[in-house]
Structure 1
């Protein structure tokens, strides 16, 4: 039996690309001090397997015992899904369109996958695992409010919250878990580091803590997370968001002028529909990459992210060349 596999963007086994519009990570990272810390991480010694100092730092004024480090978002999704299954939950509600690993983790454990397109469709009967991605990948959508899902194991994936360019985040549902993955916001997706914050030290928390592999974070991951809540990183993120707003506006204007349909988004990435269905493949031949959204159930659409002016100029030249090929 072939293992189930999620489809992702990024490296595809082909030649390197000059400009990657498929990634939803910030093109501006990493912050200098954070990057210096990652590079200086002590690779010759084990980190503290309990990550006590790091958990106290990430907890702030909260309970450090409720902070559980993860090897990035994907490992956190797998671990929390397993904890939910061991807790007797047999359904996983996942956003559709949404990140494929939510459903994949549930399917691997035999949980029934229940897709939902809006908060109004969230109506689990039996105790279930409910995934919320806020803001949502791949759409960049955000909602005004989430319903009270009492009795459900609700996990809010906040990987893209630091890349929210417009609006405010809705309040967390009561009793929700949080999954925090800073590496996209600081442009270090190769450093697999994140953490979950549990609402209480209950049975699911106990399972999630015990299911972590030993030394789930590398020395580089500890360094990244240690600098994540610093004032310097927060100031850098504010400046990065301002820059990305300008780049997103100019890129949207350019694509609109080339006949692309684009959906609204509050993030640095959004869904767009090019004039022709094979645009992702054609752009790849020009050394550019966009994220084909067919695997999200959105045939004909692509996900693009805001990139610097030189990348936008290269995209425009490629689109003009492709239009010329059609004549």
Structure 2
């Protein structure tokens, strides 16, 4: 049996030199919003936050149902363990999808089942099902929610604030939600998010008890406190308008260079370049795209819309690469 990977592959930062232009990250390239950043910078680092985060939980919703997390990855790990302790015996994950869903289950010895369509989810035992809406890496969106009965469903809504078109279907009762605002805010270095439970059931009790002490830093508390503000959401609305323009422009540039591109409801999407080694060749030129091989999509990359100057640099690099092999 081959060894399981210890970590999932990610876009964004790697251990190489910082790229001049990074198309691999799906964080908002326009962030952070100035008022929220000022609140983060003013956070009091001299003392611990309230370890129960009572005021923050009330601010984000129902204090009894909101659970702070150290970002999405920690929330995924904790909720998977809570599901196991509450009697779930298998985990269903989207394919392609964020690798941490499967790794969290594999680390606990739980069988992992992949699904491409929601109709493929057919649990044979009490199950945990992950749904990413909109989906990473595709940017795709659901037409309707599945009927999964008594199984535990967690909806990862990290990219909902970056939805550029359409609306998500209304959430059915009984599902968990995982929110990770740092992506929409362009502050992925702050590891802070929160889960919202449908009820204080066994999964909620386990998830609450499994949280490390002071799961959020002072900066994380400041970011999440400012997240629901009118100022932040007005800034997000303006950012989405700019991202729509950048996305349309970047898609047109790639189409002119014969890239295949899948539809998406977000500012990131899957694309297939004419050359299979394009990610490596671009990285050599200080430009990074997300190789999608780790998603099971050899030959594809995930790209995100970036400012027009970055798009011009990408276009010029691609033309140079093609010229070298003409």
TM-score for the superposition, normalised by structure 2: 0.98
Q: How does 1:182-221 map to 2 (within 5 A)?
A: 182-221=181-220
2:120 is matched with which residue?
121
In the comparison of the two structures, how many residue pairs are matched?
A: 324
Between the aligned partners of 2:30 and 2:122, the Cα distance in structure 1 is 40
Between the aligned partners of 1:28 and 1:8, the Cα distance in structure 2 is 20
Between the aligned partners of 1:286 and 1:79, the Cα distance in structure 2 is 39
Once the 2 structures are TM-superposed, how far is the Cα of residue 3 of structure 1 from its aligned partner? 6.3
Once the 2 structures are TM-superposed, how far is the Cα of residue 7 of structure 1 from its aligned partner? 1.2
Aligned-pair RMSD on alpha carbons?
A: 1.0
1:210-238, CA deviations, whole angstroms, 9 ceiling, x for partnerless residues?
00000000000000000000000010000
Q: How does 1:47-126 map to 2 (within 5 A)?
A: 47-59=49-61, 63-126=62-125
Q: How does 1:162-241 map to 2 (within 5 A)?
A: 162-241=161-240
Between the aligned partners of 2:281 and 2:316, the Cα distance in structure 1 is 13
1:123-142, CA deviations, whole angstroms, 9 ceiling, x for partnerless residues?
21321000000000000000
Match of 1:36 among 38, 41, 44: 38
Match of 1:22 among 18, 24, 31: 24
Once the 2 structures are TM-superposed, how far is the Cα of residue 2 of structure 1 from its aligned partner? 7.7
Q: Does 1:321 align with 2:311?
A: no
Q: Is the 8 A contact 1:100 1:296 kept in 2?
A: yes
Unmatched 5+ residue regions in structure 1?
none
Q: Pick which of 317-326 and 288-297 moved more.
A: 317-326
Once the 2 structures are TM-superposed, how far is the Cα of residue 11 of structure 1 from its aligned partner? 2.2
Between the aligned partners of 2:173 and 2:4, the Cα distance in structure 1 is 39
Between the aligned partners of 2:7 and 2:158, the Cα distance in structure 1 is 21
Between the aligned partners of 1:104 and 1:296, the Cα distance in structure 2 is 13
Between the aligned partners of 1:235 and 1:224, the Cα distance in structure 2 is 16
Once the 2 structures are TM-superposed, how far is the Cα of residue 307 of structure 1 from its aligned partner? 0.3
SS of the residue corresponding to residue 64 of structure 1 reads: coil
Between the aligned partners of 2:241 and 2:5, the Cα distance in structure 1 is 42
Q: Does 1:149 align with 2:148?
A: yes
2:308 is matched with which residue?
309
Between the aligned partners of 2:4 and 2:165, the Cα distance in structure 1 is 42
1:1-58, CA deviations, whole angstroms, 9 ceiling, x for partnerless residues?
8862211122221111000000000000001110001111111110000111100010
1:263-318, CA deviations, whole angstroms, 9 ceiling, x for partnerless residues?
00000100000001000000001100000000000000000000000000100110
SS of the residue corresponding to residue 184 of structure 1 reads: helix
1:70-109, CA deviations, whole angstroms, 9 ceiling, x for partnerless residues?
0000000000000011112110000000000000000000
SS of the residue corresponding to residue 39 of structure 2 reads: helix
Between the aligned partners of 1:215 and 1:84, the Cα distance in structure 2 is 22
SS of the residue corresponding to residue 126 of structure 1 reads: coil
Once the 2 structures are TM-superposed, how far is the Cα of residue 162 of structure 1 from its aligned partner? 0.2
Unmatched 5+ residue regions in structure 2?
none
Between the aligned partners of 2:5 and 2:91, the Cα distance in structure 1 is 19
SS of the residue corresponding to residue 94 of structure 1 reads: strand
Between the aligned partners of 1:90 and 1:37, the Cα distance in structure 2 is 42
